[in-house]
A and B are shown apart, each in its own frame.
Chain A
Amino acid sequence: MILIVDALNRHEYADILNDMYRLRARVFGDRLGWDVDIVDGMERDSFDDLDPAYIIGLDEEGHVISCVRALQTLGPHMLSDVFSDILDGEPPLRSATIWEATRFCVDTERLGKGRGTGTIAHATCELNIGALEYAIESGITDVIAVVDPRMDRVLRMSGNGAYDYLGKTVAMGKVHALAGLLDCTEERLARVREFAAITGPVLVDEAEFRARRARQAAKAAQTAQAQAAMAAQADAAMAEYFIRQIDAASSPEELAAVLSLADTVLGPVRGAGPAGQDGPRAHPHMPSVAHRN
């Protein structure tokens, strides 16, 4: 399924956007060796600050498996700036009905080869269908896409090749980059749909998607709460047990042994010990034990 994220709804999908930046870091930084800035395993550039629209492919489990970024060519965009080499000094296209597509990638690590769901070809086509539908719906006639030659080949093979190229192919990192023109037409959309045998809708119904995410988040919170409650209960029972043992201790040696065992099981009472996972949980109970001591 394909999700469109822009300035209007991005506050809802911070997690998905971060996953997308991680995918971009792996593809453009690691695999293609482009000169991109990666911080905390996420690739972001200045164009991400210009309120672009992201077309994002998600698998059934909600992993980001593909993405592409759209910017209006009327405003600042990559071909007018950092990719100007490709245009060989010529000014870029500017039109209200032409978008620029950049950072086009799919997760080749998660996806398999061949055809059908879960493959690179399928994910690429699904993303292209989503992007084309979004563009056509928005009155966009053409897209200028900056891609690497491998992506260009994948597009051509899936009935979605560029009808023309602008400028020249330039070296970029381990590979090259070039700018292809894609018409946003029902004909192209039909070709890609036919190639990938995708007939149903690919764009996410946002209301439904958000409701599902809210349900999942509520369920996860519930599970975490239940787990925390169980752990607290177990701790309380254990503390109770040690309190009884301390009360029942008949000699200093026995008391020392009980306290030592309590330390081992519930974590040390005093802050002197290493802050283990049990530390914070043990504290609410142990001071009462120490007090009885």
Chain B
Amino acid sequence: MAQRPLDLGKSGPEGQDITSRLHEICESLGFEHACYASNTPINGELIGFATYPEDWREHYLAKGYHLRDPTLTRAIHAVAPVDWSRLRDTQGYAEVFRDAADFAIPETGLSVPIRGAFGDRGVLTLARTCSPAEWASQKRAIMQQVQLLASQLHDDVLRSGQVLQRIRQPNLSSREKEVLQWVAAGKSQQDIADILNLSNRTVEVHLRSAREKLGALNTAQAVGRAIGLRMIYPI
């Protein structure tokens, strides 16, 4: 997986929606915490949402556990749901769960891997505090349901554009956007150079880069796409 940050529920209204879905899943199945992560098939970027308390989430991200936590990074490659007891000897497990205990995050849990038709993968993790005997008897009863919930969640995340948006949202610099905005306002390349106190060539460089990032054949198309993606305002 790529070394990208996991948002874990801080992704705006849509992200909040997924997080509230996770809360609902927890409530209906009797779990304390749920986390969902998926990687995009194109750039391997990882996005995620979790019901974790703020302090654990911050600690988790600060330590980079989303890149090492085997309940996400390993379990996402399984075919069947993975009981966390299976991951105990896996690299990263001891470290993550030693800290998790300090934040009262339970160690009894399940990772449900999901695969999509386009090579996309996701994983839903569910954690709760309970005795091993209780866990063993209840796990089987919910196994079917968690898989359906996990795949619905995965589809919804894909459909909501959380993943596709990240693939399609070209990463334009503020200067590139600024230049495009002035083009949209009808300014020539030299005008823009004068307005922004840049050389004509620098403006050209930013335009060329913006066209490349937007996959546009010419500046007009780049402006159209940037407006479509709401990166600049229509004027």
Contact = CB atoms under 8 A, between A and B. Distances in A.
Interface in A59-89: 70-72, 74-76, 80
Given A137-B143, A139-B144, A8 B115 contact: no
A74 B114 contact: yes
B109 to A, nearest CB: 15
Contact of B115 (A74, A139, A141): A74
A96 B143 CA distance: 11
Interface stretch (B31-39, B47-55, B73-81, B218-226): B73-81
A6 interface: yes
A139 B90 contact: no
Given A96-B148, A97-B147, A74 B79 contact: no
A170 B145 CA distance: 35
Give the size range of B's interface with the partner: 20 to 34
A74 B116 contact: yes
B204 to A, nearest CB: 43
B86 interface: yes
A35 interface: no
B148 A6 contact: no
Contact of B148 (A75, A94, A97): A97
Contacts of A97: 144, 147-148
B119 interface: yes
B209 to A, nearest CB: 35
Max count, chain A CB within 10 A of own CB: residue among B82, B140, B147, B151 = B147
A53 B117 contact: no
Contact of B79 (A6, A94, A95): A6
Contacts of B117: 74-76, 80, 94
A99 B79 contact: yes
Given A8-B87, A74-B114, A139 B78 contact: no
Interface of A: 6-8, 51-53, 70-72, 74-76, 80, 94-97, 99, 134, 137-141
7 contacts: A8-B77, A8-B78, A72-B114, A72-B115, A96-B147, A137-B80, A138-B81
Interface of B: 74-75, 77-82, 86-87, 90, 113-117, 119, 121, 140, 142-148, 150-151
